[in-house]
Structure 1
């Protein structure tokens, strides 16, 4: 027996024999005394504000919908973080740590200037000779 209720007296309840057998099986399955099993059931109903005659269907569905909405909100927040923070940061880090250096491209103006100067210089040298 439970220590807290050791000094209390037993009371009798009139319960049908089939219900009593089922309750005893339930109590053994929980490995609790019959008094504690009944007390736990009563506290469960009181704490959760439900009645044994009520159907739990609508309450469970509303709870499920609430959880789905919150999960959707969390997913939206994570996607926003990914778009706004993670992807740009990864792109910057990749650009910083790329091993290949970009090829140096000469300016188009520089090429024209060097090509034009060479023939003129060669023409002058030939005239001087």
Structure 2
């Protein structure tokens, strides 16, 4: 430690004990502890005489709500991108307008700016927004029906087709036998009964 010089500072004994226990808990040396504390107050522009009690709670609540909000928005964006990748859907004019909503408008452009070009997609060029949104809703309904169909196929496969056995009697033609109790059959029948 030859080149570093030390200085003595006088503290009251109880304050010195508090500082030493704090220093041992978080830092290797007392010098690092004091430097860290001073840097904290300097960089965060906080006075050591301020009480952050309720304000700190409000800040933490805000940060938590902001984190939740951004996580939901990120999840929604990821879901849209995955859906586009999965179904190969070209973005419509309505989708693009919604995506860039709140961006600069033509009235805010200066004369030196590049002129705004309109997005042209051949298959929907003549459609209005209501038609485009109706198509989006129809696409959602179709996807829900496809999911429901997959679930029904799985249910039929598990509950019905996997329980059918071929019986080959000694005399006569082979026949099919459903290995299911009467209560299971009634529950299955009730599930598929149309109202």
TM-score in terms of structure 1 length: 0.51
Q: 39, 43, 63: which one pairs with 1:43?
A: 39
1:27 equivalenced with 2:9 (yes/no): no
1:62 equivalenced with 2:39 (yes/no): no
Which protein has the larger Cα radius of gyration, Structure 1 or Structure 2? 1
- Give the strand-richer structure, 1 or 2: 2
Q: 5, 12, 21: which one pairs with 1:9?
A: 5
1:93 equivalenced with 2:147 (yes/no): yes
Q: What does the per-residue CA deviation read over 1:69-91, in whole Å, with 9 as the maximum and x for residues that have no partner?
A: 55246447757969xx6x75353
How far does residue 47 in structure 1 lie from its aligned partner after superposition?
Answer: 2.2
In 2 relative to 1, CA 19–76 (structure 1 residues): closer, same or farther, beyond 3 Å?
Answer: same
Q: What 5-or-longer segments of structure 1 have no aligned partner?
A: 101-129
Number of aligned residue pairs: 93
- RMSD after superposition: 3.5
Structure with more contact order per residue of length (Cα contacts < 8 Å, sep ≥ 6):
1
Matches within 5 A, 1:79-118: 88=141, 89-95=143-149, 98-99=152-153
In 2 relative to 1, CA 98–24 (structure 1 residues): closer, same or farther, beyond 3 Å?
Answer: closer
Q: What 5-or-longer segments of structure 2 have no aligned partner?
A: 84-139, 157-195
How far does residue 32 in structure 1 lie from its aligned partner after superposition?
Answer: 1.4
